[in-house]
Structure 1
Amino acid sequence: MTATSTRQRFDGIDALRGLVIVIMIIDHAREYAGGVGVTDPMQLDAVSPLLFWMRWLTHFCAPVFTLLAGVSAGLQHTTTVEPRAWSWHLITRGAVLVLLEFTVIHLAWTFSLVWPMRYAQVIWGIGVSMMVLGFLQRVPVAVRVALGAVIVLGHNALDSWHPVSPAWLHWSWAILHDRQIMPLWGELTVRTSYPVLPMIGLVLLGDGLGRWLRSATSAVRRAWLLRGGVLLMALFLVLRVSNLYGDPTPANYAGNAMSDVMQLLNVTKYPMSLSFLCMTIGPALVLLSLWNDATPSWSAPLRRMGQVPMFMYIGHLYLLHGAMLLWALLQGNPFSAFDFRAKITGLPAGFGFPLWQTFPIVAVTVLLLYPAAVRYAQLRASKRYRFTAYL
């Protein structure tokens, strides 16, 4: 993992972030294929093996993005910055992400000004977590890391608690830990797709990890990232085999090898359970250890995309959705078949494509976005516009 600037931009982190961006595009392109909807944990009797493994692969996106958001904050922090200014930067940066979730990103998903539901998804969760990190800047780093560990390790002890009154507690717990659809006014509702409590813990841990990466030697980084990743994967196996703790949905093993493997890996994403986090963050740390000293030459495009993750996130949503609408028009569907109030995508009933076609769609999406991502990375590096510090 090589540092490429005075703020220690690690190539391995950019490459890992770029890799999960590509995986994320697979997940979002797959959602336009139609057919069976996917829940988490997945209904194994209702999904094909291809759909299961595609969905399982994309589980890595949200937790790795969240951890690396904290890592980036830890890497960017410098003792020359006045603590209050740094705290305010994190708070405003998080607020910008929350605002983007409910405006620019919401519009990318719906292409509609009348769709009645707002989705508090991963960008919202990262934004809230960054704001919490900002508010806690006067708390010693060790205490913040300990708090993050307690949250990540302990939040599943709260799985059985579902308060419905008073209203303020119901709302608060829906935001923190209990995925709910909450009424606002009229037909307008909000769904807390990503309850934020485990994400807050992950960002606090990531911030501590980023600060440690700045000071540790290459050999120490490589050794401890590998140990941490292996330890998390081992803990995942212990938790899922024992079914004692770590996920609200236990695995039901039946003695069939493939079925049992799928049961083992079929963990809860909303909110991110301890088992889910161990399963995804463990391999990510192992990959970071392998890319500690240098990333392979083939990963250069991943590093480029990983330097501008928000650009890629927003860009691919608009490109995918626009391409699907154009595809539906070219199939001969009349304008009257597009209903942006009845269906979140607005696409005609019956629109879709075979699941395997997701992969060429992803390849085209990445190829179309990549030149613009390179240009935006250059613009961001020039610091010509202040807003790029938040995106």
Structure 2
Amino acid sequence: MKNQIISKKPFDTESYSKQLILGILLTIAILDHTRLFFHYWNTNPGDLENTTPILFFTRFISHFFAPVVFFITGTYLFQWSRRKSSQQIFYNLLLLAFLLIAIELVINNFFWTFDLQYRTIGLFIIGALGSSIFLLAFLQFMPKKLLIVFSMLVLIGHHLLDGFVLTGQSSTTILWSVFHQQKYIPAGERLFIINYTIIPWFAILSLGYAIGHLYQKKWLLTAGIVLTSLFFILRRINLYGDLQPWSKQETFEKTMLSFFSVTKYPASTDFVLITLGPMFIFLHYIEGVRNRLTNFFVTFGSSPLFTYLLSTLMIHLAAMVGLFFINQPLSAMVITPKSYVKGNELSNYGYTLIAVYLLWMIFVFLLYHCCKFYQTYVLRK
């Protein structure tokens, strides 16, 4: 299978490995999104009383996607900026930030909800990435070494801010929620969802940007082992790193689930360590690996935004078609604030995890051919 993406230029192992890990984790994100729309509605895989190991880790492995996106985007932005002035970088980063935020609010929010009235508006991964790039436009004036130190201090120390909790709907509360406090904000018939709080995420992006000139295979393994080890040390001590300390359960199985049940919203220090650490280790070992299987995943990773948006649209459309075949109103799959309330129209809707995995494989197959077509006939025009 010849990969259409690879150009006739000398093979760039670094870019290829980044596209490879993005592609792999995109398919895992697609699995998690399939679970969201097709598994029993509003179920919480992290609820130890009602989850199963397979359901828990189906969700857990998707945690790696967002940190990889932010870090690798940071390294790409550094490579792009090398021959530009600070002023050019500033204005271009601002333009990119506003473009991503617009895509989030107008396109991605609609694909998630299918609600023409936009009654549910969320700040998800694309909007958070845009917001982080907006901050990077200002931070990029800092010396790179200082930016590295600053980013690492934020990633390790932002858990100290967890005790500052603001309530209500004041502008101060909303601003703090955007930066560090996950929140659902009802406003009349609308619901504003803030999941990807900015503080930890922009630090991952800025770290990738700051060490872009130092990106080398030889330190990836060391950095990965250090961060992963630090996660196990902090998690074992159980005094710092996450809003939800783990606890011993009635079975070893549930104790392990509790141990790995880290907080993504807002992203905790433990969450950052257990995702970035293994990512660095994986990047170390896959650099230079190239075969038919890796080419398959690179097809997704070379056009990540297109893949992400199309997969969301495809999964949501399929879920709506699924309602038609079980004689349920299609309007139930138009996500509104009522969709998050117990007893809503989707309360009894859902399929087993086996069905979810089968649907996921179908979606990945279809998306692969869509991405190939997009890269071959659209991007090359």
Q: With the length of structure 1 as denominator, give the TM-score of the two structures.
A: 0.87
Structure 1 gaps of 5+ residues are: 214-220, 385-391
Q: Distance in 2 between matches of 1:245 and 1:23?
A: 29
Whether the 8 Å contact between 1:15 and 1:295 is mirrored in structure 2 is no
Greater alpha carbon shift after TM alignment, 161-170 vs 43-52: 161-170
- CA-CA distance at 1:37 after TM superposition: 3.3
Greater alpha carbon shift after TM alignment, 327-336 vs 294-303: 327-336
Q: Would you say 1:78 and 2:82 are equivalent positions?
A: yes
Q: 1:246 aligns with which of 241, 250, 253?
A: 241
Q: 1:354 aligns with which of 352, 355, 377?
A: 352
Amino acid at match of 1:59: H
Q: Would you say 1:30 and 2:59 are equivalent positions?
A: no
- CA-CA distance at 1:155 after TM superposition: 0.3
Whether the 8 Å contact between 1:4 and 1:11 is mirrored in structure 2 is no
Greater alpha carbon shift after TM alignment, 186-195 vs 316-325: 186-195
- CA-CA distance at 1:352 after TM superposition: 1.8
- CA-CA distance at 1:166 after TM superposition: 9.4
Q: 1:63 aligns with which of 54, 64, 67?
A: 67
Structure 2 gaps of 5+ residues are: 1-5
Equivalent residues in 2 for 1:84-95 (5 A)?
Answer: 84-95=87-98
Q: Distance in 2 between matches of 1:45 and 1:355?
A: 18
- SS for the counterpart of 2:126 is helix
Q: Would you say 1:171 and 2:174 are equivalent positions?
A: yes
- SS for the counterpart of 1:252 is coil
Q: Would you say 1:43 and 2:39 are equivalent positions?
A: no
> CA 1:116–1:84 in 2, change beyond 3 Å: closer, same or farther?
same
Q: Would you say 1:323 and 2:318 are equivalent positions?
A: yes
State the match for 1:217 in structure 2. none
- CA-CA distance at 1:203 after TM superposition: 0.4
Whether the 8 Å contact between 1:69 and 1:206 is mirrored in structure 2 is yes
Greater alpha carbon shift after TM alignment, 198-207 vs 51-60: 51-60
- SS for the counterpart of 1:190 is strand
Amino acid at match of 1:28: H
Q: Would you say 1:229 and 2:224 are equivalent positions?
A: yes
Q: Distance in 2 between matches of 1:290 and 1:112?
A: 43
- SS for the counterpart of 1:332 is coil
Equivalent residues in 2 for 1:111-130 (5 A)?
Answer: 111-130=114-133
- SS for the counterpart of 1:159 is helix
Q: Would you say 1:204 and 2:209 are equivalent positions?
A: no
Q: Distance in 2 between matches of 1:282 and 1:3?
A: 31
> CA 1:57–1:312 in 2, change beyond 3 Å: closer, same or farther?
same
Greater alpha carbon shift after TM alignment, 14-23 vs 100-109: 100-109
Whether the 8 Å contact between 1:3 and 1:11 is mirrored in structure 2 is no
Query: Residue by residue, what CA displacement relative to the aligned partner does 1:199-218 show, whole Å, maximum 9, x if unpaired?
Result: 011001111233222xxxxx
State the match for 2:134 in structure 1. 131
The number of residues matched between the two structures is 371
> CA 1:280–1:339 in 2, change beyond 3 Å: closer, same or farther?
closer
State the match for 2:272 in structure 1. 277
> CA 1:202–1:39 in 2, change beyond 3 Å: closer, same or farther?
farther
Whether the 8 Å contact between 1:63 and 1:280 is mirrored in structure 2 is yes
> CA 1:295–1:209 in 2, change beyond 3 Å: closer, same or farther?
farther
State the match for 1:218 in structure 2. none
State the match for 1:99 in structure 2. 102
- CA-CA distance at 1:255 after TM superposition: 7.4
Q: Distance in 1 between matches of 2:175 and 2:268?
A: 19
Instruction: Give aligned-pair identity as a percent.
Output: 24
State the match for 2:162 in structure 1. 159
Q: Distance in 2 between matches of 1:288 and 1:316?
A: 25
> CA 1:338–1:303 in 2, change beyond 3 Å: closer, same or farther?
closer
- SS for the counterpart of 1:189 is strand
Query: Residue by residue, what CA displacement relative to the aligned partner does 1:264-323 show, whole Å, maximum 9, x if unpaired?
Result: 101100111111111111111111000123334411011121010000110001101111
